[in-house]
Amino acid sequence: MSYTTTIKEEISKNISSKSETIAELSGYIRNNGHNTPHGFQLTTENPYICERIEKQIETLYETKVKKEVKDSLNFSKKDLLVLTIEEKKDFILEDIGYQDKEGNYLGRPPEYIVGANEEIRAYLKGVFLSSGSINDPKTSRYHMELLIEQAEEAVFVQKLLNLFDLNVKILTRDKGYMLYIKEADKISDYLKIIKANNAVLYFENQRIYRNKKNQANRLNNCEQANMDKVIATATAQLDDIKIIEENLGTSLLDDKTLEALEYRKKYPETSLKELSEIISLETGKSISKSGLNHRFRKIKELATKFKNLEKENEKA
């Protein structure tokens, strides 16, 4: 079962007041249904949504809704569940803000449908049940989207969502408009708004796990980068030492610098900090990392002189 299906199953079990039910039906029907010669039809592959919408209509308007099971046309293995409103169709569609008294489609529902905070939440829940999806935070990037066919409805829903500071963006698609959120914090807030409490807990747990995993990866990468840097520095110092020895130049170094040379040969893979601690411990004479680095600069300077001399001899 997908994360989206799990969310829709959870919120399909929520108990709502009468005004919330009307708002939820409005959000669902305005973004799902369409008129046909046989009545007003709603379609879904989710049995929990089908049962909820059917029960809401029949309880609220005291009428029966025709339910059919058809083969899905989008190559899905799930059956397509079709609800058809025949009796009291115009009354129901007017009551939930789909059309006016003359039967004309309303670009946005009347204000009383979403007149209070709880009604707004219910409306947004209905929209999500109709056309929403959220990526599983465990397996993919953070992403929530709503696919809405009508332009005015898309802008209306975007404004409702942004009342909660969700920073919802909108894009044009071939068959309508896509409203989306990509910020993890905002998606979590959105789940709270539509009262998907279990989904919020799962989402937050996965966020914590991913954050810890990413942090561990960053630390490992940092440690590897530091190790690579240590090895590169030590290798360069050993190369300088080799040049000096090949040119019999160790006698040109002072005792402290010569000591650093010998310890580098003895501990070829240690960092400067570690090497300074080793020298301090074994000789009883304290030397800092910067002090040791100063000695290796002298070694590098001498090695560079030998390399330059060799180049001049080659030219001659």
The amino acid occupying position 255 is: D
Q: Which residues form the domain of 91?
A: 3-195
* Cα–Cα nearest to 234, from 195, 268, 189: 268
- Among candidate residues 129, 163, 195, the one where a domain is terminated: 195
29 with 84, same domain: the answer is yes
109 with 159, same domain: the answer is yes
In a domain, 208, yes or no: no
- Please state the rounded mean pLDDT for residues 25-44: 91
In this predicted structure, the answer to whether residue 297 has a pLDDT above a threshold of 90 is yes
Pairing of strands 66-70, 80-85: antiparallel
In a domain, 203, yes or no: no
Over residues 112-144, the pLDDT tens digits come to: 999 899 999 999 999 999 999 999 988 778 999
Confidence at residue 122, expressed as pLDDT on a 0 to 100 scale: 96
In a domain, 206, yes or no: no
- Among candidate residues 164, 195, 226, the one where a domain is terminated: 195
124 with 239, same domain: the answer is no
- Among candidate residues 132, 164, 195, the one where a domain is terminated: 195
230 with 180, same domain: the answer is no
158 with 229, same domain: the answer is no
* Cα–Cα nearest to 170, from 154, 186, 185: 154
- Please state the rounded mean pLDDT for residues 12-18: 92
* Cα–Cα nearest to 98, from 168, 45, 31: 31
Other beta carbons less than 10 A from residue 40's beta carbon:
20
Q: CB of 205 within 8 A of CB of 179?
A: no
- Please state the rounded mean pLDDT for residues 228-242: 89
190 with 224, same domain: the answer is no
Confidence at residue 75, expressed as pLDDT on a 0 to 100 scale: 55
In this predicted structure, the answer to whether residue 98 has a pLDDT above a threshold of 70 is yes
Q: Which of 102-106, 160-164, 287-291 has the highest mean pLDDT?
A: 160-164
23 with 100, same domain: the answer is yes
Q: Counting beta carbons within 10 angstroms of the beta carbon of residue 24, is it exposed (0 to 12), middle (13 to 18) or buried (19 or more)? A: buried
Task: Please give the share of the chain, as a percent, with pLDDT higher than 70.
Answer: 97
In a domain, 204, yes or no: no
In a domain, 207, yes or no: no
118 with 253, same domain: the answer is no
In this predicted structure, the answer to whether residue 72 has a pLDDT above a threshold of 70 is no
In a domain, 160, yes or no: yes
Domain count, the chain: 2
In this predicted structure, the answer to whether residue 76 has a pLDDT above a threshold of 60 is no
* Cα–Cα nearest to 164, from 190, 143, 132: 190
83 with 169, same domain: the answer is yes
Encoding tokens for residue 303? 């090695």
Residue 296 and residue 264: Cα distance in Å, rounded?
A: 10
Encoding tokens for residue 284? 């009883």
Confidence at residue 249, expressed as pLDDT on a 0 to 100 scale: 87
270 with 174, same domain: the answer is no
172 three-class SS: strand
Q: What is the distance of C-alpha 164 from the center of its chain?
A: 19
143 with 283, same domain: the answer is no
Task: Find all residues with CB under 8 Å of 137, minimum gap 6, and list them.
Answer: 3, 184, 202, 203, 206, 207, 210
Encoding tokens for residue 136? 């599983």
Report the CATH number at residue 123: 3.10.28.10
In a domain, 202, yes or no: no
In a domain, 188, yes or no: yes
In this predicted structure, the answer to whether residue 77 has a pLDDT above a threshold of 70 is no
In this predicted structure, the answer to whether residue 199 has a pLDDT above a threshold of 90 is yes
In this predicted structure, the answer to whether residue 301 has a pLDDT above a threshold of 80 is yes
The amino acid occupying position 59 is: T
Reported confidence tier of residue 310, pLDDT bands at 50, 70, 90: confident
7 with 101, same domain: the answer is yes
